Structure 1
Amino acid sequence: MPTYAPVTLARVATMAEVITENTIRVLDHGFVRLDDAMASDLSVVNGARVSFARHKAEMDESDEGLIRFLMRDRHGTPFEHNAFRFHVRAPLFVAREWFRHRVGSFNEFSMRYAKASDEFYVPEPEDVRSQVGKPGAYSFETVEPELAEQTREDLQAVYDAAYETYTRLVEQGVARELARLVMPMGAYTEFYWTVNARSLMNFVSLRAAETAQREIRRYAEACERFLAEKMPVTHAAFVENDRVAP
């Protein structure tokens, strides 16, 4: 299994724009915002040491060693005594991939009750790619500039037509829960995701990998930035152990 360099602020700057301390812009209209966190390396330490009726107020080197041991030997439950709450804005196809991770809690924006956004994902020219090879053993290659631009124009034309139809249906009195059926997978949605560090590492190990779809990979990298900031020892141990969740 390949190993990866730990997420750093310099690396994040190359793949996402940091809007504020707690928000990273992803893709053209998306973001990942750390809405709240009850997360620290010390929570892992105390979750493990309670087995011996011990409690620590501050971290020391022995605690860092304990975290590395827990990660290396896959003692996972101490990494569950914490929580990250993310506010995410992403295209529908990214959200649907995300929701396949049956961990944490989700609440999503509802097109049934509220008007859909008029913003859609249009990939940058360098992100328009072709699939080469057979399923399970394929790679992606950037297409010629002319095809990339035509693809972007075609997507925008579909989006414009779909949203015009959606708006017309709503204005004519069609219920939003039916009018939303015309919305493409590139439409943006928003959701909250609350997850513990163990499950977050599982998500990152799968979705920040080179085999993951490029768009969700950028969201996973943004989430990993916050993991690294809030729980640096845990994140370092995660990277040292081949980025496999305990």
Structure 2
Amino acid sequence: MDRLQVLDKGYVRLVGVMGSDLTIVNSARVSYDKQKAEMDSKDERLINFLIREGHTSPLRHASLQFEVYAPLMVARQWWKYVVGSDHTMDAWNESSRRYISEDEQFYIPAPTEWRSKPENSKQGSGETLKTAIGNKFTKALMQYVEEGEQLYNFALLNDIAPEQARLFLPAYGMYVRWYWTASLQSVLHFLDQRLGHDAQAEIQDYAIAVDAYTKAHFPAVHKAWQEHRK
């Protein structure tokens, strides 16, 4: 998987992986000074036991590194898993318009993608709105983005510093790019919450991509996690 497309212009790309299912097994067995070179059914049962019983510290000895391109509203939801993490081994580096002036990209929901407010909750979404209503707001958002880009470029042409010129860009829908490196334990914690039915739809789409990479590289852990996840 070179990279997985998400939303209209976003993606998730796996940059690197440290460890495997066997890494988890050997990390757990180091207490007994034991190490194995290949996985077998006993090791799968050990992984199942560790996850079932919540003994997840061995999962911190494996990690995944992703490149993510997503709207800022998704990035800021994701960011809390770094600043609030107790799982260690998390790192985040994000592109900055203080230093670069690459072409702006914005997330524009299609007319069929606008959602209503939920009836009995202060957060989340309700039903999908009628296309006629969605079409109105897709056009309005496109106009808003175009005006912001024009002001941003006008500021740059008048020698305004990029770090200030970016104030004219509509923020929440603007795509940003970052690297996220996290322990396997932290990745599974992220997936626990962002694959949930009550997670915002846009970040759910990104979680599905992260989940696909995780399953591909840690199949035994992923299988046990799926079986025992809350």
* Bin for the TM-score computed over the shorter chain: over 0.9
Amino acid corresponding to residue 214 of structure 1 in structure 2: A
Counterpart contact for 1:30–1:89, Cα < 8 Å: yes
Counterpart contact for 1:117–1:187, Cα < 8 Å: no
Structure 2 counterpart of 1:88, from 47, 64, 68: 68
Compared CA separation, residues 215 and 233, structure 1 to 2 (3 A) = same
| 1:167 paired to 2:147 | no
TM-score by length of 1: 0.87
SS in 1 for 2:133: helix
Q: Shift of residue 181 of structure 1?
A: 1.1
| Cα deviation digits, residues 8-61 of structure 1 (max 9, x gap) | xxxxxxxxxxxxx23101011110000111131001100100011000100000
SS in 2 for 1:118: coil
| 1:224 paired to 2:211 | yes
Amino acid corresponding to residue 76 of structure 2 in structure 1: R
| Cα deviation digits, residues 186-232 of structure 1 (max 9, x gap) | 11110000011100000011111111100011001100100000001
Partner Cα separation in structure 2 for residue 23 and residue 138 of structure 1: 28
Partner Cα separation in structure 1 for residue 207 and residue 118 of structure 2: 24
Q: Shift of residue 123 of structure 1?
A: 1.2
SS in 2 for 1:88: strand
Partner of 2:191: 204
Counterpart contact for 1:22–1:35, Cα < 8 Å: no
Amino acid corresponding to residue 56 of structure 1 in structure 2: K
Structure 2 counterpart of 1:236, from 211, 218, 223: 223
Q: Shift of residue 183 of structure 1?
A: 1.6
**Percent sequence identity over aligned pairs:** 37
Counterpart contact for 2:26–2:34, Cα < 8 Å: yes
| 1:25 paired to 2:16 | no
Partner Cα separation in structure 2 for residue 39 and residue 230 of structure 1: 9
Partner Cα separation in structure 1 for residue 19 and residue 70 of structure 2: 24
SS in 2 for 1:48: helix
Q: Show structure 2 runs of 5+ residues with no match.
A: none
Could you tell which deviates more after superposition, 197-206 or 132-141?
Answer: 132-141
Partner of 1:61: 41
Task: Determine which structure has the larger strand proportion and give its number.
Answer: 1
SS in 1 for 2:98: coil
